[in-house]
Amino acid sequence: LLQIKAKGVTMTALLAKATAMALVQHPVVNSSCRDGQSFTYNSSINIAVAVAIDGGLITPVLQDADKLDIYSLSRKWKELVDKARAKQLQPQEYNSGTFTLSNLGMFGVDRFDAILPPGTGAIMAVGSSQPTVVGTKDGRIGIKSQMQVNVTADHRVIYGSDLAAFLQTLSKIIEDPKDLTF
């Protein structure tokens, strides 16, 4: 992970890629109920990420995040943030998300709840990584960095058991990030 970050890849890009990879395995979590009645199982994995801008918030979208390599994804993310801050995003670049990330970890926030944007199926709130006392595999006590994530979902289409399976997969991807570079 440190080797990837040393090449200029942001934590947001890493989280978006890991999330997209987990969504490939759990497509129901990438679904939505846009009109309040019918469900859409989205064929694309478009990760929207909340960004603070002057006067509010916007969610630039990393289109087909599962298909881009981590380095391309990171470059695209930097480009989208620059466009967002300059108020130059086109509608397709902010209104096409199928899953939303809100990362306040970069501000030192360790946990929070995110409100589900209308028309989307789920949003994940990501807190900062904190050193935590844990039991190790050999039965000893150790310190491990742990990150709190919290998912808010539309339960008309995504059940708690779906989210639990998705979060287990996401955890495995983040804990063993070698696959993120593909």
Number of domains in the chain: 1
What confidence tens digit (pLDDT) does each residue in 25-61 have?
Answer: 999 999 988 777 778 889 999 999 999 888 788 999 9
Pick the residue with more confidence: 3 or 121? 121
CATH classification of the domain holding 80: 3.30.559.10
Domain that holds residue 109: 2-181
Helix (H, G, I), strand (E, B) or coil at 47: strand
| Active site (annotated) includes residue 26 | no
CA separation for the pair 97, 42 (Å, rounded): 10
Helix axes 70-85, 11-25, angle to 10 degrees: 120
What confidence tens digit (pLDDT) does each residue in 106-119 have?
Answer: 788 888 889 988 87
Asked if 116 contacts 151 with a C-beta cutoff of 8 angstroms, the reply is no
Residue 4 has pLDDT above 70, yes or no: no
Predicted confidence at residue 6, as pLDDT, reads 54
Query: What's the whole-model pTM score?
Result: 0.87
Predicted confidence at residue 152, as pLDDT, reads 94
Predicted confidence at residue 52, as pLDDT, reads 85
Q: Which of 7, 34, 67, 155 is catalytic?
A: 155
